[in-house]
Structure 1
């Protein structure tokens, strides 16, 4: 594990910013703790992360963000920064319906960031990352409604953005047996109904201390997300003109709320 971490540090020492899309889930009460845990895992690799929060419950962006986004970035620690960005990507949408230019603006505003973590609803992510080589991270907890919401986000991105590989991070105790069943169910439904793959998953206990919450599974998930995001694959790709795909025809799913 240590050798792999050192390899990632060397990889990042001469590369562009990585982009990690996180599908927001309004049904997950501890989504903030999940994002903090992911940032902590990146920090262990000596990486600087900018959290671009465009989730449903995120604060609205400052009016200054239109003219000087860099001045609106809040530094939370030596390795983690935060940008309130709810609805901000829509201001960068072009005539093709693509908001890919938003990534260019964010990368320009935070050139020191090794990782840009964009937390946003699936429809907004689809406009930003359609046809990109990235792996979205789904969020959930033990509540069935949160699992349904996670599946709905995966379905939207699979059909509208052509993204077929996902990871999952759950807010619950790592030894909870229900978590394994949830991950297996999402994996089965992704494969059987969407032709997608749930590649890996991990848990984070929101009640645990930050260091204790960084389980080997979470550290592995963080490294896999980085390796699945080649430098420059999202930022600046395709000249910002990628257009979200039309909905693909899929088999009915067992998640009624996902329709």
Structure 2
């Protein structure tokens, strides 16, 4: 049955199928790159959910990261059994290991995204939280814009940059955003964003389109920061603006060593 599904219902060109899903489906899919060196990754997902919920959107976190809970055994038969309602506007799917069940002969797991969209037709925004390797298989050659997560510690920033490199080179995802989790008084935040943008441009030919700064100590029920509110509004906008904000890539001359220190 699994093979029949791929032969009869899913297009042979997986990249084309995923582009069609992005172009025509109501749901907005945001790849969120899991960062094992962050202490507040879950808090950042909460902040993202709050920002979208404030805009009136139904949002679901599809957690396929290495630290996510194991999915319900019934997920083999019905993905809807994995969906947990957290609030009237927020739901959660424990999906560790699930994308690989949908892998095709080319290594793509894009069919998983379609299956989740079919299982949750009410959702407006889907935050797909996974490792960079899994996101490569899920979103290869799509129009997705991955959201990198990091804090202001070197190991975290190094991982975010390495993830960007993999997503750029393996999946051809050339435009990224960055969410920095740090105290409001952190002296490193702006410099980190500028250095990641410069290295993306100089060494990867990629663009850091936007970056956001969120205080991990803020209450999830607080109103989102103006930058986070603007970003969420833009994601929900029916008009894609893939070339806006290219100024972030304008600074050249930083070396990759600067990002790592």
TM interval, shorter chain, is 0.7 to 0.9
Deviations 1:111-151 (A, max 9, x none): 10011110000110111111111110000001110000000
- Distance change (3 Å), C-alpha of 1:168 and 1:228: farther
Shift of residue 219 of structure 1? 1.2
Tell me if the contact between 2:195 and 2:259 (Cα under 8 Å) persists in the aligned partners: no
Where do 1:79-158 residues align within 5 Å? 79-158=89-168
Alpha-carbon distance in 2 for matches of 1:213, 1:186: 27
Could you say which structure has the greater relative contact order, defined with CA pairs below 8 angstroms and 6 or more residues apart? 1
Q: Is the 8 A contact 2:59 2:90 kept in 1?
A: yes
- Matching residue of 1:178: 188
Does structure 1 residue 214 correspond to structure 2 residue 224?
yes
Post-superposition offset of 1:166: 0.6
1:255 to partner: Cα distance: 7.5
Residue 68 of structure 1 deviates from its aligned partner by: 0.9
Match of 1:167 in 2: 177
Distance 2:148 2:228 in 1: 13
Q: Please report the TM-score for the alignment, with normalisation by the length of structure 1.
A: 0.81
Distance 1:202 1:213 in 2: 15
Instruction: Tell me how far apart the structure 2 counterparts of residues 198 and 174 of structure 1 sit (CA, whole Å).
Output: 21
Q: Is contact 2:72–2:81 with CA below 8 Å preserved after alignment?
A: no
Give unmatched runs, 5+ long, in structure 1: 1-13, 231-251
8 Å Cα contact 2:145/2:175 also seen in 1? yes
Mapped pair 1:187 → 2:231:
no
1:176 deviates by: 2.4
TM-score of the pair, normalised by structure 2: 0.80
In the superposition, relative to structure 1, how do residues 53 and 93 fare at CA in structure 2: closer, same or farther (>3 Å)? same
SS in 1 for 2:213: strand
Per-residue CA distance 1:164-183 (angstroms, 9 max, x = gap): 11111111124423111110
| SS in structure 2 of the partner of residue 127 of structure 1 | helix
CA distance in 2, matches of 1:28, 1:135: 21
Partner-residue secondary structure (3-state), 2:257: coil
Larger deviation: 173-182 or 99-108? Answer: 173-182
Contact 1:48 1:113 in 2 (8 A): yes
What residue in structure 2 maps to residue 39 of structure 1? Answer: 49
Alpha-carbon contact 2:34-2:131 (below 8 Å) kept? yes
Judging changes above 3 Å, is the alpha-carbon distance between structure 1 residues 122 and 228 closer, same or farther for their aligned structure 2 residues? farther
